[in-house]
Amino acid sequence: MDDLSRELGISKKTLYQSVDNKKDLVLQVFQNHAQKEVEAIIHIRQEAADAIDEMIEVAKHVIPTLRQITPTILFDMQKYYREVWQLMQDFNQQEIFKVIKENIERGIEEGIYREEFHPEIIAKLYVGKTMVVIDEDVFPLKNYNKENLFKEHIQYHIRGIATSKGLKLLEKHFKKLS
């Protein structure tokens, strides 16, 4: 908190008028981030030309955040801020799940995702795979680039559920991630 107040150019007393302690600060930062993510995704979904465009645009939005997530941040969250870590997990399990499920339903309606898949199951698989992508034990940063991992994850997901029409759209939209 000393470093933070110094960096902000304010006294610790002023800082503590906004937050109770470090845990409260971490919680507020996460809540603010989660709210901004929800707003950004709503905007992306409204502007997307189709379900695949939506997935690619969401990926473009998420990749800069992935670049900022270090193993130390994840470790600290899990070890020192368990409640905030659980909120992050819940956010993924609920909000991201909902976005992916609705994207799959949209894609089925548009004829670009295959209809034989159960959207809820595929959305849960997607969320689970996303957690694996950021897991340092599975994909150590010294061997894997997070951005490339996420691009592979998106492409793998869409290729698995896309119709031939959807695959053509994937080729068109995926260039935006390069």
Phi, psi of 113 (to 5 degrees): -115, 145
Please report the pLDDT score of residue 95 as a whole number: 92
Percent of the chain with pLDDT over 70: 100
For the chain, where are the alpha helices, taking DSSP H only?
A: 2-8, 12-15, 22-47, 51-68, 71-80, 82-91, 97-110, 119-133, 146-161, 164-174
Please report the pLDDT score of residue 112 as a whole number: 98
Q: Where are the domains of the chain?
A: 21-177
Confidence of residue 66 (pLDDT cuts 50, 70, 90): confident
Structure tokens at 79: 């070890």
Confidence of residue 2 (pLDDT cuts 50, 70, 90): confident
Contacts 24+ apart (CB under 8 A), 130-136: 130/92, 130/96, 131/92, 134/66, 134/69, 134/74, 136/71, 136/74
Inter-CA distances, 48 with 90, 93, 99, 102, 106, Å: 26, 23, 13, 13, 11
pLDDT (mean) for 85-92: 90
- The pTM of the whole model exceeds 0.75: yes
Out of 3.40.50.2000, 3.40.190.10, 3.60.20.10, 1.10.357.10, select the CATH number for domain 21-177: 1.10.357.10
Q: Residue 111, by phi and psi: left (phi above 0), alpha (psi -120 to 50) or beta?
A: left
CB 77 within 8 A of CB 85: yes
Average pLDDT, the chain: 92
Phi, psi of 56 (to 5 degrees): -65, -45
Please report the pLDDT score of residue 65 as a whole number: 83
